[in-house]
Amino acid sequence: MPFTSRIGILGAGRAGTALARAAATVGIPMNIASSRSPSQMKYHLAQYAPQATAVPAEEIGADVQLVVLMVPQDDLDEVDPESVNGLTLIDATNRWEEMPLPDWLENGQAAGLSSSEVIAQHFGGSRVVKALNHISHWDLDSDSSSRQGQQRALAVASDHRPDATLTARLVRTLGFAPVILRGLAEGRLMEPEGEIFNQVLSAAQLRALLHDR
């Protein structure tokens, strides 16, 4: 069954607007928010995500069941967990090189958790799914000739099976082949140092890679 519900996208930069364009192409409506107000985003969105409805960041969860987090990790202290309380939260964030992180995120990873496990603790009222982070905005963008086929596999990791299944439906509707991992801890494979980050794999290749580990 295709995913048709409205989604929220938190972050209107390269990744957020690429997702908005990809979602619009397949008929998924979306709200989008950044650190700026809707009126301040007006010209930016007219150019990069004309079909997105701009909302204030604190209202990103107002009329959706699923929000995609596409904010740089160093800005996560500025995101109020209340704004996504009770929702499926797709964590599409990555750490880039030595980017400074909020203390809670740095400390959680130093204690051995994957970044999404720490984000799941921080956004404790949401059900976190790691997805859409290990593909570049160029390849996510439906207009991109570098997409390399409709059946590229994208991994989905969560400790909440119904939310993983919902996210897999979104991924499939966007034109990719979802592969559900065992849990958020396994989402480490999707992080920048992980084996599948930015790898163009079919679902069969991704499953084989998971099986052989």
State in angstroms the smallest separation of the CB of 89 from ligand NAP.
Answer: 13
Q: Does residue 23 bind ligand NAP (CB under 6 A)?
A: no
Q: Does residue 13 bind ligand NAP (CB under 6 A)?
A: yes
Q: Is the Cβ of residue 96 or residue 161 nearer to ligand NAP in the bound state?
A: 96
119 three-class SS: helix
Round to whole Å and give the CA distance between 29 and 62: 14
State in angstroms the smallest separation of the CB of 212 from ligand NAP.
Answer: 25
Supply 188's token pair.
């480490």
Site for ligand NAP in 39-78 (CB under 6 A): 57, 70-73, 75, 78
Return the percent helix, strand and coil in the chain, to nearest 5: 40, 15, 45
Question: Considering only CA atoms, which of 118, 110, 130 is closest in space to residue 68?
Answer: 130
State in angstroms the smallest separation of the CB of 185 from ligand NAP.
Answer: 20
Figure out which of the listed residues 92, 101, 128, 131 binds ligand NAP, where binding follows CB under 6 A: 92
Q: Is the Cβ of residue 66 or residue 71 nearer to ligand NAP in the bound state?
A: 71
Q: Which window, 11-19, 46-54, 105-113, 173-181, contacts ligand NAP (CB under 6 A)?
A: 11-19
Q: Does residue 160 bind ligand NAP (CB under 6 A)?
A: no
Number of residues in contact with ligand NAP under rule CB under 6 A: 25
Site string for ligand NAP, 113-152 (x = CB under 6 A): --------------------x--xx---------------
**What is the chain's length?**
213
Which residue's Cβ has the minimum distance to ligand NAP?
13
DSSP β-bridge partners for residue 128: 89
Q: Give me the long-range contacts of 189-198 (CB less than 8 A, separation at least 24).
A: 189/155, 190/130, 190/133, 190/134, 190/155, 190/157, 191/94, 191/95, 191/114, 191/115, 191/133, 191/134, 192/94, 192/95, 192/96, 194/134, 196/134, 196/155, 197/94, 197/134, 198/134, 198/135, 198/136
**Which stretches of the chain bind ligand NAP, using CB under 6 A?**
10-16, 33-36, 57, 70-73, 75, 78-79, 92-94, 133, 136-137
